[in-house]
Amino acid sequence: MFGSLLLAGSRSPLARRAVSGFPLTRKVVERFVAGESPDDAVTATRRLTGAGLAVTIDHLGEEVRDTQATIDAVKAYVTLLGALRPLELGRRAEVSVKLSALGQALDAPMALDNARRICEAARDCGSTVTLDMEDHTTVDSTLEILRALREDFPETGVAIQAYLFRSEGDCRDLAGSRVRLVKGAYSEPATVAYQKKAHVDMAYVRCLKILMEGTGYPMVATHDDRLIAITELLADRNDRDRDSYEYQMLYGIRTDKQEALAGAGSRIRVYVPYGDDWYGYFMRRLAERPANVGFFLRSLRGK
Ligand code: FDA
């Protein structure tokens, strides 16, 4: 219930102004966001890759309303990828892209062209792109754009949200590709998505089975210990070696677990968001865990 309120707030301009206006908010945001500039993202990348983790970097921004904002978003990714190139990290540093930041709602062919430019820049530095998945109204369009991108950039990945009823079918269609499986972070109606946590978790396992039995590269994006244990069982059952799938977690969340997985020889990639448009991302992280709201409120009171 509280989580739903926070998710509603994540799309409210009024709440955006109120939360962003608190001077102390920034300190709390830093727990989940690597910084505002490409240099901040590169610094976090150096630190994480130096510790044996891989990264996927997200330039924060979503639901843009004009063409200029989409041009700025492409520029931000191209600049970032240019700054990563000398590090020669290849696929250890990829980028995550929200199509709504590239104009998906304004003009889908324009969003495809924009995404292509980012894929080209990623390929130039030996890296690749994964498309984030946003609310359920965007899934068909995102998968269509993915199909078009994969003609030239077959390594392009996509996130699939286990909470959507349709996702088992999407996993079957994509079982030969790079797929990031997530539980799902948006407020969705009961007509399209499981509402109870236990049902979402069971759906996650069904999707995971399909991906682990397939020939693609599953990217198991969760902080949930039970799902990580199930992934290990499925890897064993399907004779998958540790290079044939990876775990993914969010920047600043369960860093001890991230390091433990890397230390145990698993592939683990950290999703590193940077930029000044952190509001929607930040609110979704608060919605996932009530304890984060307590942490936020205590910081606002200066405690
Ligand atoms: P769950 O929420 O059940 O959490 C399991 C445990 O992890 C918790 O008990 C807690 O210990 C810890 N935890 C989880 N979230 C936390 C938080 N915010 N703060 C502190 N601890 C926390 N969603 C989407 O709709 N589209 C997308 O493209 C993506 N992309 C994406 C990439 C990556 C790399 C990750 C890890 C996640 C996403 N997500 C996403 C978000 C995803 O849908 C989901 O909301 C979160 O991962 C939380 O779900 P968990 O699987 O971690 O389980």
| Model confidence at 258: pLDDT above 80 | yes
- In a domain, residue 61? The reply is yes
Same domain, residue pair 129 and 265: yes
Same domain, residue pair 26 and 98: no
| Model confidence at 298: pLDDT above 80 | no
Averaged pLDDT score across all residues of the chain = 91
Residue 171 corresponds to which tokens in the numbers above? Answer: 């996993």
Quick check: 163 and 193 in contact, CB under 8 A? yes
Does any ligand 1 atom lie closer than 6 A to the CB of residue 257? Answer: no
Nearest-angstrom CA–CA distance, 248 and 201: 17
CATH number for 65: 3.20.20.220
Nearest-angstrom CA–CA distance, 268 and 243: 10
Residues designated as active site:
132, 180
Q: What is the pLDDT of residues 109-164, one digit of tens each?
A: 999 999 999 999 999 999 999 999 999 999 999 999 999 999 999 999 999 999 99
42 vs 283, higher pLDDT: 42
Measured by CA distance, the residue closest to atom 5 of ligand 1 is 224
Mutate to test the pocket of ligand 1, among 7, 160, 188, 289 (most ligand atoms within 8 A of CB): 289
Q: What is the pLDDT of residues 200-236, one digit of tens each?
A: 999 999 999 999 999 999 999 999 999 999 999 999 9
User: Which amino acid would we find at residue 225?
Assistant: D
Does any ligand 1 atom lie closer than 6 A to the CB of residue 186? Answer: yes
- In a domain, residue 168? The reply is yes
Measured by CA distance, the residue closest to atom 12 of ligand 1 is 223
The pLDDT value recorded for residue 101 is 96
Angle CA 24–30–32, to nearest 5: 125
- In a domain, residue 254? The reply is yes
- In a domain, residue 28? The reply is yes
The pLDDT value recorded for residue 182 is 98
| Model confidence at 7: pLDDT above 80 | no
| Model confidence at 4: pLDDT above 80 | no
Least confident of 44-58, 128-142, 229-243, 282-296: 282-296
Same domain, residue pair 172 and 256: yes
The pLDDT value recorded for residue 29 is 78
Same domain, residue pair 302 and 273: no
| Model confidence at 105: pLDDT above 90 | yes
Predicted confidence band of residue 30 (pLDDT cuts 50, 70, 90): confident
Quick check: 284 and 11 in contact, CB under 8 A? no
- In a domain, residue 166? The reply is yes
183 is in an annotated binding site: yes
Residue 97 corresponds to which tokens in the numbers above? Answer: 């892209």
Same domain, residue pair 210 and 95: yes
User: Which amino acid would we find at residue 246?
Assistant: E
Number of domains into which the chain is organized: 2
The pLDDT value recorded for residue 19 is 65
The pLDDT value recorded for residue 296 is 66
Residue 266: phi and psi, rounded to 5, are -85, 155
The pLDDT value recorded for residue 303 is 41
Nearest-angstrom CA–CA distance, 218 and 128: 15
Same domain, residue pair 210 and 168: yes
Same domain, residue pair 117 and 85: yes
Same domain, residue pair 215 and 226: yes
Same domain, residue pair 286 and 273: no
Helix (H) or strand (E) holding 143: helix 139-152
Residue 190 corresponds to which tokens in the numbers above? Answer: 């009961």
85 is in an annotated binding site: no
Same domain, residue pair 271 and 300: no
| Model confidence at 292: pLDDT above 80 | no
- In a domain, residue 66? The reply is yes
- In a domain, residue 37? The reply is no
Nearest-angstrom CA–CA distance, 175 and 173: 6
ipTM above 0.95, yes or no: yes
- In a domain, residue 40? The reply is no
Does any ligand 1 atom lie closer than 6 A to the CB of residue 183? Answer: yes
Compute how many other C-beta atoms are within 10 angstroms of the C-beta atom of residue 148: 16
Per the listing, tokens 């609310």 go with 135
DSSP state of 177: S
Same domain, residue pair 292 and 216: no
Does any ligand 1 atom lie closer than 6 A to the CB of residue 136? Answer: no
Parent domain of 20: 1-32+278-303
161 is in an annotated binding site: yes
Same domain, residue pair 88 and 128: yes
